[in-house]
Structure 1
Amino acid sequence: MSWLDKVRNSIPFIAKRETPDNLWHKCKSCHQMVFMKEWEDNLNVCPKCDHHDRIGPKTRFAQIFDDGHYAVLATPKVAEDPLKFKDTKRYTDRIKAARTATDEQDALINAEGKIEGHKAVVGVQDFAFMGGSMGIAVGAAFVQGVEAAISAKAPYIIFTAAGGARMQEGILSLMQMPKSTVAISRLHAAGLPYIVVMTDPTTGGVTASYAMLGDVQIAEPNALIGFAGQRVIENTIREKLPEGFQRAEYLLDHGMLDMVVERKDMRETLGKLIDYLAPGKKAA
């Protein structure tokens, strides 16, 4: 036995320290490593570069509603594969995979609760569910949210995040655009406000319909917002687009948004808007 083996064998065994796999979060913007707890305490916003990361409905509801208390509305039942669509995978298989990954029934979830003491119905699109794409289920959920708001005499607030229409549902997906527009007109007829908060990314048919019809248009910082992609536009008009084109701050400067609000200020801002647009007593 060599002297090195003797020395190594004489050292008392020390168990390897177990560390959680999710101790750190790597920012997608600045690529800095941040303690997961620090990142979560900062509302899933990078404390170093202020990058607002994408979040799902559960996290959003917990951040927006007072004391994190809310009631999720049951997801409407719709035909899941009306066109029997198949590309490299069957559409039904894609839906099952998305449900397993997100633990949600589809890309738009509604919940009821209070924001700064005011009753509100909030819808949140989950980009993790097939890119937040707008299909029959999303259209039905949007109408459900509006009807719940009318029933509760409360505003409807939607947080959009989508790559556009759901191609697996063809023309049926595009039909959700006028469907949501009619629902918004019903909300207005009831004298209730409709507030849109656009998050990264909000594109395609969602932008071309309910995302741009709010009484107040809000966006999170640096959110990508547009209809067609930048490369498609450049190839069409054969011109180079400006720096930051289709980002929230650019759209604010050019009149397409009313305000850009950081996540830490979102609940307070929404509470003030409800006060202005739906004056009355706060929820008991």
Structure 2
Amino acid sequence: MNPLHEKTLSHLTGIPDAADISVETLQELADQYPYFTPVQFFLASKLKQRSHGAASAQVVKTALYFNNPLWLQWQLYEEPVRRKTMVLPDDMIDTPTDHSGDAPEAIDRTDREPAVPDAAQLENEPAVASAVENRLSGMLTEQLADFKKPVSEEDRLEIEKEKERLHTIDYFASQGIRIDLSRIPQDKLTTQLRKFTDWLKEMKNPNPVQTDLGTSAEMENAVVEIAKTSNVSREVLTEAMAEVLAKQGQVEKAVQLLIKLSFINPEKSSYFAARIEQLKGIV
């Protein structure tokens, strides 16, 4: 039992030493608090230490309180780790030796000392630096002279035009296929192939202004006429509207609406006349 378990058990029973706690004490606690998991665990651990006959049954019962039976098994069957102390024989113990009188060994410092440059190399360094400076100075002088050179009216700045990539002009030509489709027999496959190449060219170079929208002049005129009358408010001539006006107390407007309906629908004129007489009787 590890120190944490012993401390917890001491708090539960009030007995400082866990070895003095009897099985009967833990059994009384388990009977008094049957759903308290720590008491069931400590009872199983104590029975296992005493090699009691009821240890196996208590372990099975305690496993019902644990969601991980492997962890319960490790808690019950773990053994404390004990450090092994090695005892050395007397003949293996070395006697300390005084090395204070020994002379220190010479240390080779050749790899740490920086290399001293040769005298001839030091003499050539100023000459090399002077040559580099003279070359740079000459290049800068030439560039400055070209920059300050006057520009005449006849001078032109030539800008090379960027070549259009072949795949943007003709897809098949970019793939190495060069066929004049206008010279071969115009069968169905050739016609479809020409339409496909024309479509590719149009997609590579789209025209922002669409000239052909796929509509006819008659259709466009019809759309214009519809647009002219689409925002014009029209009078609603229905019998339901007449009923609404009558319920709102606007009997005269309802009568006028029924008269218009009788002219629009002559076959129902007798019906509308009866409705008109009915509304006039209300007034």
Higher-Rg member (1/2)? 2
Instruction: Tell me, yes or no, whether TM beats 0.5.
Output: no
TM norm structure 2: 0.16
Larger helix fraction of residues: 2
Larger strand fraction of residues: 1
TM norm structure 1: 0.16
